A and B are shown apart, each in its own frame.
Chain A
Amino acid sequence: MSAQTMALAFFDGVAYAALVFLVAVGLTLIFGVMRILNIAHGSLYAFGAYAAASLVAGLGLMGWSPWLAYPALAVAAALVGIIVGGAIETLLLQRIYAKEESLQLLVTFAVFMVLENVQRLVWGVQPYFVAEPVQMLGNINLGGIDYTRYQTLLLPAVALAVLLGLRLFLKGTLSGQIILAVTEDREAATAIGVNAKRVFFVTFVIGASLAALGGALAAPTTSILPGMGADMIVLSFAVAATAGLGQIEGAALTALLIGLGRSFAVYLAPEFEVLTPYLIMVLVLLARPQGLFARPEARRI
């Protein structure tokens, strides 16, 4: 493999990892704080993509500046996170925090199925596409190959900003510290007066918005169609599990590992492209069942 092809595989891997990270980090954040594996995360990703497509198309129809498409992507993600995510948390999840894990899993799976059908009712089955945000930024030539600026520059930049932002928020602000406290020990945190209910709501909305942001940012690069959420939830679960559920920086590194693994596979062994993320996951979990970055949990008696 020449240096040029290695460089090519690297750029593609980073762009792909950025998108996967955005979705996986929301999943892992929600799990870390609430101990719920949210299958409906995949629907939020799809809703983000559809909402972004509708909003950008709407802007186009009203004849507004096409540059507004970029803030529109973020607005679409926030709307989906707050409205859909907020509704899921207050109407359903709040009632089942004390219940068994398997029940929680089933409930979020049911929500996923319901939302898949809502999505079909609202947007139908024909693929949507919003290419403008990619086309407006144009291409950049790296090593003799044209890449889209959107995928090689903007997506990794947003992913990095989200990673740093989350880190600053959790480590540097009071609200973040409270979230971390609930993650560490919910009972103790409640005992000293932390409103766990509110923390859960805020965390879920942030996590849901991140899933929707992943979808909104993916929208300009892909066909938006039924079933896109199911694929993403499987992949982002692989990332979150490989990193260790609840590990934010770990999710970033794992997403990068899986993204690079996948793009190198396309050059070296294309037949293994689909398998690569899961091979990495299996190898990691065989060696470290709790995930790459998870600390061994303190035993609670």
Chain B
Amino acid sequence: MIRTFATAAALSTLLLAGAQAQDKPAELRVGISTFLSGSASVFGEPAKQAADMIVEDINKSGGILGAPVKVTYIDEGAGAEALTTEYKRLAQDGKTDVFFSAISSGNCNKIAPLAEDLKVINFMWDCGTQQILEQGKYRYVYRTQANATPEVLAALVYLLKTRPNFKTIAVVNQDYAWGRDSWAIFSSALKKLKPDAQVVAELFPKFGAPDYSTEVSRLLALRPDVVLSTSWGGDLDTFVRQAAQRGLMRNSTFVLPLAESSLQRIGKDLPDGVIVGARGDHYFLHPETRDDPKVKGFMEAFKARTGSWPIYPVFHMSQAFAALQAVYKKASDANGGKFPNKEQIADAMKGLSFRGLGRAITIREDGQGVEDQLMGVTKKVDAYPFPIIDDMMILPAAKLMPPVGQKSEDWIATLTPDLVKVEAASFRHR
């Protein structure tokens, strides 16, 4: 019944569109997986809001190559099983043209081979794991953002550039794939870039742990020069508040590579001088793009719509849509102005350059995006009720990731302390 109806609808659209090019679809269907439930919805919800806004904008200005964009969401919070079932259904019955999936690295591990099997274009729009594109060859899977290697190395390089003399470091990461993997990258690179640094504690509290008092006590007793935590969401908020309340942040320099996404929640309880990152050059006061009327307009519209300034998943979402628009344009140009099919899209992805709300990003030969990394330190100012990021550096991603064809762990083993001298653009808050 539904199928008959769909056929009828498709036929009538074809009849209506008879005068135009035959192959232009009635709409461009995009399937997006994001967390709408569970603790990662701190990222998933703002990203969905951003997607809704961006799609409204695209459709207001005539869609992509004249086809309006239609989005279907899949909730990653329902689990990997539900995600793959829904993904297959959308790919087959729903005739979805492009997928943006996923936030969770575990889900990306499942989705990448599935997309390749189903021969559907998939943008890994937010997940961090560097392994997928380093270990396998994909024709239909691309990443429209950086990955864990440059994200973690940027934090380490920034730390070594600005606080070169520390002697001891402790880590407090969430006990799951990202917490473990990010520490593996950080610690193996630390051994190469600063061999004399001593790791005094490696703590991996439970994912979603409600209390870090014991960890904080232990760190207060150990007095490490640096405390690293790649935690995020409620876990990071709790840890930072408990650490700040008990004076741990006075003795130790905190390095929090994902804290840009927590600044507005933790607010004034976060002291000045904490090193923070944003998994890319994602910052609502981006020093290079903040005065661009388009970027500025988006930031203000997002704030008006949701009550908060954009955080990094919003930027990731803007990048996925920027890549989508750019690749359809590029493939259509290569196709004599006709609407491209998915093989032509896949051909056009390599070497594609596009710009979301930050600097331009390029897709490499292996499908990986090259995205520069913004780091800085927290600072309280009068204009905002939460700390902003000052003493910013934007580090060049190309220098912080292995060349195409090499795995991150092999490449990190070849690093020397010279990497710290990599040139980075510096900015003050203004």
Contact = CB atoms under 8 A, between A and B. Distances in A.
A70 B220 CA distance: 28
A8 interface: yes
B303 to A, nearest CB: 15
B50 to A, nearest CB: 15
B38 A226 contact: yes
Nearest to B239: A223
A285 interface: no
Contacts of B237: 127, 129, 223
Contacts of B269: 131
Nearest to A138: B245
Contacts of A169: none
Given A127-B233, A127-B237, A223-B237, A146 B208 contact: no
B246 A139 contact: yes
Main secondary structure of the interface of B (DSSP, over half): helix
Contacts of B42: 125-127, 225
Given A4-B221, A146-B247, A15 B210 contact: no
A5 to B, nearest CB: 6
A54 interface: no
A11 interface: yes
Contact of B45 (A9, A125, A146): A125
Interface residues of A, number: 44
Interface stretch (A246-254, A260-268, A292-300): A260-268
B217 A8 contact: yes
Contacts of A139: 245-247
Contact of A127 (B37, B206, B217, B265): B265
Interface residues of B, number: 37
A260 B323 CA distance: 52
A274 B38 CA distance: 20
Interface in B38-65: 38-39, 41-42, 45
B39 A227 contact: yes
Interface in B194-242: 201-206, 208, 210-211, 213-215, 217-218, 220-221, 233-235, 237-238, 241-242
A273 B218 CA distance: 13
Given A125-B37, A126-B42, A127-B234, A266 B208 contact: no
Contacts of B220: 145-146
Interface centre among A147, A223, A267 (most CB of B within 10 A): A223
A216 interface: no
Among B39, B42, B210, B246, the most chain A Cβ lie within 10 Å of the Cβ of: B210
A256 B213 CA distance: 16
A134 interface: yes
A12 interface: yes
A13 B218 CA distance: 12
A135 interface: yes
Interface in A197-249: 218, 221-228, 231-232
B175 interface: yes
A226 B36 CA distance: 11
B218 A8 contact: yes
A148 B265 contact: no
Contacts of A147: 213, 217, 246
B204 A221 contact: no
A271 interface: yes
A147 B221 CA distance: 12
Nearest to A134: B245
A104 interface: no
- Top 6 nearest A-B pairs (CB, nearest first) are A223-B234, A127-B234, A125-B41, A12-B214, A225-B234, A266-B214
Interface of B: 36-39, 41-42, 45, 175, 201-206, 208, 210-211, 213-215, 217-218, 220-221, 233-235, 237-238, 241-242, 245-247, 265-266, 269
9 contacts: A9-B217, A12-B213, A15-B213, A125-B37, A134-B245, A222-B238, A228-B210, A273-B206, A274-B205
